Amino acid sequence: MTGPTQPKPSAADSRSVRFRIARCDGPGKPTRWETFAVKIDRESAGANVISCLQHIAAHPVTVEGKRTTPVVWDSVCLEEVCGACTMVINGKVRQSCSALIDQIAPNDGDEVTLEPMSRFPVIRDLWVDRSRVFHNLKRVKAWVPIDGTYHLGSGPREPAKAQDTRYTLSTCMSCGCCLEACPQFTRQDDPAAWDTTFVGAHALSQARLFNMHETGKQLAGERLEALTGPGGVADCGNAQNCVKVCPKNIPLTESIAAMGRAATIHSVTRFFKK
Amino acid sequence: MSSHRVIVVGGGLAGLAASVRIAESGVPVDLFSVVPVKRSHSVCAQGGINACNEVARQQGYSEYEHFDETIYGGDFLADQHPALEMANWAPKIIDLLDRMGVPFNRTAEGFRDLRLFGGSLFKRTHFSGATTGQQLLYALDEQTRRYESEGKVTKYEFWEFLWPVIEDGRCVGIVAQDMRTMQIRAYRADAVVMATGGCGLVFGRSTNSTICTGAAAARCYQAGVWYGNPEMIQVHPTAIPGADKTRLMSESARGEGGRVWVPRKKGDTRKPREIPEAERYYFLEERYPAYGNIVPRDIATREIFSVCVNDGLGVYGENQVYLDLTHLPATTHHKLEGILEIYKKFAGEDPQHEPMRIFPSVHYSMGGLWTTFAKGSYNPPEPREKHKSGAAPPIDSRIGQGMQPGAIENARTNIEGLYAFGEVNFAYHGANRLGANALLSCIFDGLFCGVGVVNYLKSGTPSKSPHGTVSQSAYDRVVQQEERKARSIIDTVGKGGDDEAGNPYLIHRDLGNELTAACTVVKNGPRLEQCLARVGELKERYSRMKLADGATWTNQSFGFARAVGDMLVLADAIALASIQRRESRGAHYRTDYPNRDDANFMKSSVAKFDAAKRTTTVELVDLDASLIKPTARTYGKKDSATEQEKKSTPTAAMARASA
């Protein structure tokens, strides 16, 4: 079974693209750079950073002719819905599956630089430990507190417009692009400090998502309590980088503003209740 | 909290639904996954999830008809009672997901919206944009995180399942490896649920994620678990080709009105918009007036394949057809935004203005670990005739009619204490899965069969001898086996020269090409025999495999190379079962046996592995067809009484295309 050919035959039938890759053997080990050349031709139509990394894994030889080890990186769906293959490509954080070679390196000899995200500890090469992204979802209790899985009828009815807003927020794949771009979200390798350092745009947006849901609202107070504490919404420096790099075009700054307002009201209410 | 523990392997929809259900009953769960569970392959599911609903019900639809569609869609190869129970539970599952906060699309009045999907004449598919799998997975991920924060679920993410620990015929734990530290260790449990998905990577490029190697299932298989219907591999009709994988274009594109066509004129070089309506060949609509573009997947795939390969009508003379959404209104485009974005990003054209160019690709494994079930209370004296669409159902939708709720045999493998949920098992879908039934079967397994796992702890062997009583040597033995295996792979580093033949990545590439050519859309005996021989050659190459990385920390290519060995074992089972099924049924189409043969082959293929000889044998085992009588599966095709006529055109062209 041969697949359809790709729509655009490139000007040159074959070209060579160089990949300059930051290598690191493990935590605490130094970073070194290795460069590989990958041939792009009709055979590799539709090539992306992933297919080139796959090629390098099978042929781990640098441009100097030195045999090395296959590059380690994280990937799952390759359709930009899982968030796994996020890395810094030519200085910009994004998913490597949707980084098409025809777009990022259209000419013969073009170079592509691949680096791991900098706000998370490197496990090896391009693979980083993003446990903190998921940890921060626990801080804002990013779930609907249902009574259990027994059959209790349907959920709340919802206007189409509200669904549309929630759906957009709910497409967040915890990739960490917003965190990589954020000046306030600095690298923190000690999990003990995670609860008091900036929670990040993704978690603020998830807090907004669950505060919008009829049942999710039940935990709104607890979420806002977490967001008024250290590392909460007040830590946002309003750089607005997050929204520019979000691959799902989630209105992160709207979410931050909404949570900022809600947190202020929460604090004031709490003050008067004391 | 119970002193028992359950291990769940895999954190997709099935694994998470099981974890939530089991943790909720008070049993601690250890959840193992090769990725953070939120990144599991379930995120790739797009179109929706099927369930009878009030609107469809008032139009004459019923849970029973959903069941009937599932069996007919699967070409009568699925055990029928489990499919009945699943269909009856479907509306309850939708309600639960709704309560969990899944943003299902809504009607103007705020009710859950529905779309049309393959194999049905009723709108019965619930959806969340065109990323329904992602949204359902996230809802279950959130519930799992909630239990995790309460200490009821312990996650082991980036841990790879290596082998089940089986002692005295029952599964009492697993051996797994930390993918970062490379530590191999055993974990005790009273029951193990495998929820590790399909095996698309055996075919090289597919719509599956990089983690869908089938290795976990293959390891259970080599440890003595039977594997049902390995030959039943779904090739999805509409995918975008790519250098690293093929990307799914959901069936919802057709359900929402998308039309498949090619130019009537061979080799037409005009742009699609320049081709007038009369010169377009809407071949699915012409051949299947009732179902049109929403015929089941195996049929659409063969028709697309045939139009391109036999008739040479592929767009621009290539193997591709148009999937056209340009005529649909903006509101429909909005509902399909998730997949339109994928096409735009990866193919570089906007499907709102240009018809997409697509071709079939390997997508789903109907086959998988063989599982049992306890029949429910509905047992008519004779199987009934096929249900007439829209007619009153013969039974209501009460639970327990298909399978006995809470029975410990439900979704259990042939090994006591070892369960298989979701795509990794062989249940429900027979020879072809209907669109939007996969998400349903995964969640159904987790919620419904999860109860049976808990009951097994309470009333089965673990109630008398919990995992704590099992001798440590049982675990140590498997750890040592896996350490030996790992060492034998690592020891190949630096041995010998630059041998391309022993490169694990190239062995995998060649395996994928071979299996795709021989074991997908069109099969035939001689080609399958050749495939079996070639898999044998690949195994021989694998025995001389050389790894390029000897690192003892986060050695990804080691993990991949080990999985290639397991894929080769599955490949054997797929080819052998394809050879032995000398008929055509659902996704399994043989040019040398183009007809369905119920007398001899309305049976499950069950592959069994001989550990001593390392060989596979396949036997045919009777299945449960006690509810609906088999009928010809035509979907009202116009040019022939049955699909068989089409099938009886074994052409050299088809063989060439698959070679």
Query: Which percentage of chain B shows pLDDT scores above 90?
Result: 94
Instruction: Spell out where B107-258 has E strands.
Output: 114-115, 125-126, 153-157, 159-167, 170-178, 184-188, 191-194, 227-228, 233-240, 247-248
Provide CB contacts within 8 A for B108, sequence distance 6+.
A160
Residue B555: which of B178, B157, B40 has the closest Cα?
A: B178
Residue A179: which region, alpha, beta or left (left: phi > 0; alpha: psi -120 to 50)?
Answer: alpha
Taking the Cβ of residue B359 and every Cβ of chain A, the question of whether any pair is shorter than 8 Å is answered with yes
Does an H or E element contain B473, and which? Answer: helix B472-490
Average pLDDT in chain B: 95
Contact B128 A167 (CB under 8 A): yes
- Residue A44 has a pLDDT of 84
- Residue A123 has a pLDDT of 98
| φ, ψ (nearest 5 deg) of residue B143 | -65, -35
Taking the Cβ of residue B360 and every Cβ of chain A, the question of whether any pair is shorter than 8 Å is answered with yes
Q: Say how many CA atoms lie within 13 Å of B20 toward its Cβ.
A: 32
Binned at pLDDT 50, 70 and 90, residue B42 comes out as very high
Closest Cβ opposite residue A26 in set B134, B248, B553? B553
The residue behind tokens 């590392």 is: A231
Q: Across residues B85-89, what is the average pLDDT?
A: 98
Q: Across residues B150-175, what is the average pLDDT?
A: 98
Contact A127 B554 (CB under 8 A): yes
- Residue B559 has a pLDDT of 98
Closest Cβ opposite residue B345 in set A6, A80, A152? A80
Catalytic residue among B259, B297, B302, B541: B297
Contact B549 A70 (CB under 8 A): yes
Residue B229: which region, alpha, beta or left (left: phi > 0; alpha: psi -120 to 50)?
Answer: left
Residue-wise pLDDT tens digits, B618-639? 999 999 999 999 999 999 887 6
Residue B657 has pLDDT above 80, yes or no: no
Q: Which fold has domain A130-273?
A: Fumarate Reductase Iron-sulfur Protein; Chain B, domain 2 (1.10.1060)
CATH number at A14-127: 3.10.20.30
Contact A4 B96 (CB under 8 A): no
- Residue B652 has a pLDDT of 36
Q: Distance between CA atoms of B61 and B59, rounded to whole angstroms?
A: 6
- Residue B497 has a pLDDT of 62
| CATH 3.10.20.30 domain range(s) in chain A | 14-127
Domains located in chain B, CATH noted: 6-235+366-469 (3.50.50.60), 251-363 (3.90.700.10), 473-635 (1.20.58.100)
Confirm whether B297 is a catalytic residue.
yes
Number of A to B CB contacts under 8 A, please give it: 236
Q: Across residues B48-62, what is the average pLDDT?
A: 97
Residue A157: which of A204, A202, A214, A201 has the closest Cα?
A: A214
Residue B368: which region, alpha, beta or left (left: phi > 0; alpha: psi -120 to 50)?
Answer: left
Nearest chain B alpha carbon to A44: B243
* CB A186 within 8 Å of CB A202: no
> Which chain A residues are within 8 Å of B43, Cβ to Cβ?
76-77, 81-82, 173
- Residue A12 has a pLDDT of 52
Residue B654 has pLDDT above 50, yes or no: no
> Which chain A residues are within 8 Å of B520, Cβ to Cβ?
1
| CATH 1.10.1060.10 domain range(s) in chain A | 130-273
- Residue A271 has a pLDDT of 85
- Residue A272 has a pLDDT of 86
Taking the Cβ of residue A28 and every Cβ of chain B, the question of whether any pair is shorter than 8 Å is answered with no
- C-alpha distances in angstroms, B287 versus A100, B119, B122, B276? 38, 15, 20, 20
> Which chain B residues are within 8 Å of A78, Cβ to Cβ?
209-210, 242, 244-245, 247
Residue B418 has pLDDT above 70, yes or no: yes
Q: Distance between CA atoms of A45 and A55, rounded to whole angstroms?
A: 13
Contact A48 B242 (CB under 8 A): yes
Taking the Cβ of residue A94 and every Cβ of chain B, the question of whether any pair is shorter than 8 Å is answered with no
* CB A96 within 8 Å of CB A53: yes
Residue-wise pLDDT tens digits, B122-152? 999 999 999 999 999 999 999 999 999 999 9
Identify the three-state secondary structure at position B620.
strand
Q: How far is B17 from chain A (nearest CA, A)?
A: 9
Identify the three-state secondary structure at position A23.
strand
Residue-wise pLDDT tens digits, B453-497? 999 999 999 999 999 999 999 999 999 999 999 999 999 998 766
Closest Cβ opposite residue B24 in set A84, A149, A213? A149
Taking the Cβ of residue B132 and every Cβ of chain A, the question of whether any pair is shorter than 8 Å is answered with no
Residue B645 has pLDDT above 50, yes or no: no
Q: What residues of chain A score a pLDDT lower than 70?
A: 1-12, 274
Residue-wise pLDDT tens digits, B345-362? 999 899 999 999 999 999
Pick the residue with more confidence: B648 or B482?
Answer: B482
- Residue B648 has a pLDDT of 36
Contact A146 B105 (CB under 8 A): no
Residue B644 has pLDDT above 50, yes or no: no
Identify the three-state secondary structure at position A70.
coil
> Which chain B residues are within 8 Å of A100, Cβ to Cβ?
345-346, 348
Residue B653 has pLDDT above 60, yes or no: no
- Residue B499 has a pLDDT of 78
- Residue B352 has a pLDDT of 96
Q: Across residues B514-537, what is the average pLDDT?
A: 97
